[in-house]
Amino acid sequence: MRFFSNYFILFFCPLLSSQNTAQLDSLLRKGIEARIEMQYPLSLEILTNVRTVAEENQWYKQQFLALNNIGTNYYAMLDYGEALDNYLEAYTIALKHLDNNEEMIVLNNIAILYSKEGDLLKAQEYFLKAYVQAKEHNESIKIGIYAVNLGIVANQLNRLDEATNYLKEANEMLQHKPSIAIIGDIALAENKYKRGEFLVAQSLAQQILPKLDPIANIEERVLLLILLSNIAKDIDEGENSILYAQQALHAAENYENKIMAYEQLATVYEKSKLYSKALRAKDSLISLNASVNNMKNGKLFETNRVKFEIADYQRELKLNKELNQRETTTLYGLLGAAILVIFLIAWALRNMYLKNKQRKILNKRSKEIINLELQKKESDNLLLEKQLVAKETMALLEQERLRNEIENRNRKLATKALQISSRNELLKEVINSLSGQTEVTKNALLSKKVKELKMLLKGDAEWESFLTHFEEVNHGFLSTLKKNHPELTVNDIRYLSNLYMDLSSKEIASLFNITVEASRKRKERISSKIGLKDSQQLYSYISSI
């Protein structure tokens, strides 16, 4: 089969250039059909021939379609570099010679390609060009489609307000195209999720899910189920999170969707502490990635083989054409005069000279372009480094500001603690003074007031308020302390909180209504619980938490 297709193209394509565009369109359809049937080498041979003939005859529509479909062939074969080259060449032809419809088609293809490569800013740039074209020609359906694409990219770039505006516009334009509008609805649910509006996002996603066609919207169904799984995970609905992830895996058909589903399963299993299942999901993910890599390597090998065959095919075309020219030249040389032969030789030498000259010019320009690109990359890298330094500086300043704010609040808490300590000392003196007087012990009312003062010293309400404020200022200190040392009592934690603010043993003793010696012994006992040999190390230890 391969032999016959080569034979047909090699020997009959010289006749094709003398025929009309209708016959070229017929051959173009054959090339597209071969691409759809994944016969990429045959498709590329046919489309390359169509492109050559169309270029020679300046049939720009056929040249554009050939280039666009050649790019699509390479895209399917995972050779994104060749695909982009052909799309950009098709875009140039559309700009110079065709109308906006072809321009929008190839702009969308280029944007999708950049999106696959992970270059979201470039993808946004070309989607935006297509969107502006559609706006200028007031094509509502295309405006809606490109607005959906722009909304999806803006979501991925975390430009959530921008994404919302595009998606709202898309919803207005695609009211009569529910099969396309539903993709915008999914992107809107994703937008709500990224904003932290989990319940709103969950409600939207659950409304969309039954509307998806089980065959036509497989990829959208997988993405929506993964979104629902993430929402359930973030609102602590572990079982639902796992269930949605399993449904996504069941719905996935291609490798890309299966990889996303396994990644989600591994994440939700791990959060639910189902470690064995998480490991199995990760093992499946690793195996699947290996299969994808093998498949990509195979496709890249096939791409390189096809490139070689096309180059060989073009060389054969050239040789065949040159052979015909030589035979014609020989025929005319035999019939003509010797002067004609000399003229033809001079003409051939001149052509060779011009080609060599052009080749040198092209080489020189290529080197200049490469140097310019290298300079641009260097400037981009320098700019990126400056931005990173600026971000690091801002982060350090923010950390310093937060540290100063915490120290300031701790000073206020320490002051409040010292005020409580002073009050307790004063209350002790008053109680001791009153308790030593006979008149007080005999007077029932005064004795009752003295007891109330003693109860005030033992009250915990102010300590509870103090600890609440302390945790707000030193976020995470108490929880970390409890996690690392669960054997500590409530009084131990209170003691350490006051010590953390650098209060002396005397001040802490006053706050706890105990003696200084009792405060010192408590410090030693807590140090022993924590595992410190020397109680003098206690302050340094808790300061490092």
- pLDDT of 225 reads 92
pLDDT > 90? residue 410: no
Lowest mean pLDDT among 18-27, 173-182, 269-278, 516-525: 18-27
Cβ-defined contacts of 128-133 (< 8 Å, 24+): 130/103, 130/104, 133/100, 133/103, 133/104, 133/107
- pLDDT of 161 reads 95
The residue with greater pLDDT, 300 or 105, is: 105
Neighbours of 446 (CB within 10 A): 14
Provide the pLDDT confidence category of residue 156 given band limits of 50, 70 and 90.
very high
Mean pLDDT to the nearest integer, 203-226: 89
Handedness of CA 260, 264, 267, 270 (dihedral sign): negative
Neighbours of 32 (CB within 10 A): 18
Mean pLDDT to the nearest integer, 308-323: 58
Domains of the chain: residue spans and CATH:
461-544 (3.40.50.2300)
Token pair recorded at residue 118: 């992970």
pLDDT > 50? residue 450: yes
pTM as predicted: 0.50
- pLDDT of 15 reads 40
Instruction: Return the amino acid letter for 225.
Output: L
Question: SS3 breakdown of the chain: % helix, strand, coil, rounded to 5?
Answer: 85, 0, 15
- pLDDT of 314 reads 54
pLDDT > 90? residue 168: yes
- pLDDT of 148 reads 93
Mean pLDDT to the nearest integer, 485-509: 85
Measured in whole angstroms, the distance separating CA 382 from the mean position of its chain's CA atoms is: 23
